[in-house]
């Protein structure tokens, strides 16, 4: 069975009578987008079914033709899904490939489908539908990763670890608190995709080439059939807008940055020098020459994805920056950027979710590290303020002097004797030692959003309810 028209005349027929000969091979190569926009086949068919149903309701085509068109389009969808549909570069894009095949299947009624629409509003509609679907997929992926992090936080609410600033030990925190920090980041990412999805949910269909159409179409009907909130209000803007793609790429770039930050921590934490966490074999690889190696390759590749995704965002910004209204062929360069970024982001989310679900914190290593680097110095300063009534700046100075003494003696703050401390300030009492352990330090941080196990469990409960 012949599933497509492959000769040059088939593309001429799509263009109409304006051109006497087919395109040069080089022109065909630069002009064709079927190699990548075939990913929008399902969206294209959905848009065409909605359009033909509206045309019939408005008595622009007959009900019989609309039903024949629908049946033909569903047949094509089945061929595409089963892998037997043959794509032709001579037909340029997914829209022409489907229309040509529809002509083969149903004959004359296929020629009525394109009434009152243009490829300009058709491609804008398809691309919006595809991007909207991808937003939904990313939102689900983010929710899965957030759930994995919440589970880690719940299990590790009492585990102490070092908190860092400048990658130097700063104060003790809990493992659960650290995990919940990424939940908050990813929640903002999720809200950006939800927000972008809402803003893009206007239908371009019916804007035609750029000026609308003289046919009595019902744009509200097609918008509703495709799940849009409303039709777009300006036909020029409708066919030339790619803000929805830019917003998707912007949100993807920020999300990928968050994933990269966490991936960097996993690379550091899993190193022999830190040993804070053990990653499962499922997300690690070995070395071709060093048998002892267990490399965090999944984390490293996630870390690299941000460059690719952000590059797509910048690339599309450059495509769009100088385009006059309305449609220009430059905009064919929009889809590969979005497709590639979407693939990269979904893969990174899935890999990170797997790593987080499998990883095991090294409790003893984390606790030892949490107590290093004078991490409870702030607790000492706070005790001086709270118990001795010192101004904080004076307490800061006293604590700094005690840190210097401990450094000189090559010990940590809890290892100083009371005499050592009273040599710096004679008001210090034995009670201070009750506040210099890392466990007491984290337990005391009960302010809203703090690192205490109590606060972590409150946040875990809140997010479990939200994610449910």
Which residue, 202, 254, 211, 261, is CA-closest to 232? 202
Alpha-carbon span 260 to 265, nearest angstrom: 9
Alpha-carbon span 435 to 450, nearest angstrom: 17
Contact call for residues 376 and 167 (beta carbons, < 8 A): no
Among the listed residues 287, 328, 372, 417, the single catalytic one is 287
b/e code 30-64 from CB counts within 10 Å (16+ = b): eebbbebbbbbbbbbbbbbbbbbbbbbeeebbeee
Among the listed residues 166, 288, 364, 447, the single catalytic one is 166
Catalytic (active site) residue 51 = no
Q: How many other CB atoms sit within 10 Å of the CB of residue 136?
A: 13
Catalytic (active site) residue 6 = no
Contact call for residues 152 and 240 (beta carbons, < 8 A): no
Q: Is the peptide bond before 326 cis (omega within 30 degrees of 0)?
A: yes
Alpha-carbon span 208 to 371, nearest angstrom: 67
Which residue, 210, 160, 269, 228, is CA-closest to 219? 228
Maximal CA-CA distance, the chain: 100
Instruction: State the Rg of the chain over Cα.
Output: 31
Q: Which two tokens stand for residue 174?
A: 């809990």
Alpha-carbon span 285 to 75, nearest angstrom: 45
The phi, psi pair for 241, rounded to 5°, reads -75, 130
- The residues assigned a catalytic role are 166, 287
């Amino acid at each position: 069975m012949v599933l497509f028209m492959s000769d040059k005349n088939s593309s001429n027929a799509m263009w109409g009578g304006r051109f006497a000969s087919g395109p040069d091979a080089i022109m065909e190569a630069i002009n064709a987008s079927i190699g990548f926009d075939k990913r929008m086949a399902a969206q294209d068919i959905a848009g065409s079914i909605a359009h033909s149903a509206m045309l019939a309701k408005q008595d622009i085509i007959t009900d019989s033709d609309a039903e024949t068109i629908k049946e033909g389009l569903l047949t094509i969808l089945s061929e595409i899904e089963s892998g037997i549909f043959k794509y032709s570069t001579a037909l340029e894009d997914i829209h022409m490939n489907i229309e040509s095949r529809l002509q083969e299947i149903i004959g004359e009624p296929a020629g009525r489908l394109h009434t009152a629409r243009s490829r300009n509003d058709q491609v804008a509609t398809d691309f919006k539908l595809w991007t909207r679907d991808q937003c939904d997929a990313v939102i689900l992926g983010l929710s899965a990763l957030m759930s994995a992090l919440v589970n880690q936080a719940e299990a590790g609410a009492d585990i102490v670890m070092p908190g860092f600033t400048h990658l130097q030990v700063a104060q003790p925190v809990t493992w659960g608190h650290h995990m919940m920090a990424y939940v908050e980041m990813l929640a903002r990412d999720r809200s950006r995709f939800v927000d972008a999805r809402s803003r893009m949910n206007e239908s371009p269909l019916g804007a035609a080439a750029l000026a609308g159409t003289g046919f009595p179409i019902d744009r509200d009907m097609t918008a509703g059939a495709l799940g849009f909130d409303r039709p777009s209000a300006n036909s020029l803007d409708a066919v030339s807008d790619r803000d929805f793609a830019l917003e998707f790429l912007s949100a993807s770039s920020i999300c990928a940055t968050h994933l990269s930050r966490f991936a960097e921590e996993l690379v550091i934490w899993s190193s022999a020098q830190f040993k804070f966490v053990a990653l499962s074999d499922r997300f690690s690889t070995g070395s071709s020459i060093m048998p002892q190696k267990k490399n965090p390759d999944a984390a490293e590749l996630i870390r690299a994805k941000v460059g690719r995704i952000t590059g797509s965002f910048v690339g599309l910004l450059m495509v769009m920056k100088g385009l006059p209204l309305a449609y220009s062929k430059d905009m064919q360069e929009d889809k590969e950027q979005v497709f590639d970024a979407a693939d990269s982001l979904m893969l990174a989310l899935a890999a990170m979710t797997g790593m987080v679900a499998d990883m095991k914190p090294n409790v003893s290593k984390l606790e030892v590290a949490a107590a290093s680097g004078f991490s409870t110095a702030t607790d000492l300063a706070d005790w001086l303020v709270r118990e001795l009534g010192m101004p904080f700046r004076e307490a800061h100075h006293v604590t700094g002097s005690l840190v210097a003494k401990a450094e000189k003696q090559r010990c940590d703050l809890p290892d100083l004797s009371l005499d050592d401390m009273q040599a710096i300030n004679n008001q210090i009492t034995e009670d201070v030692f009750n506040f210099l352990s890392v466990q007491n330090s984290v337990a005391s941080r009960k302010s809203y959003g703090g690192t205490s196990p109590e606060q972590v469990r409150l946040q875990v409960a809140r997010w479990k309810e939200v994610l449910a």
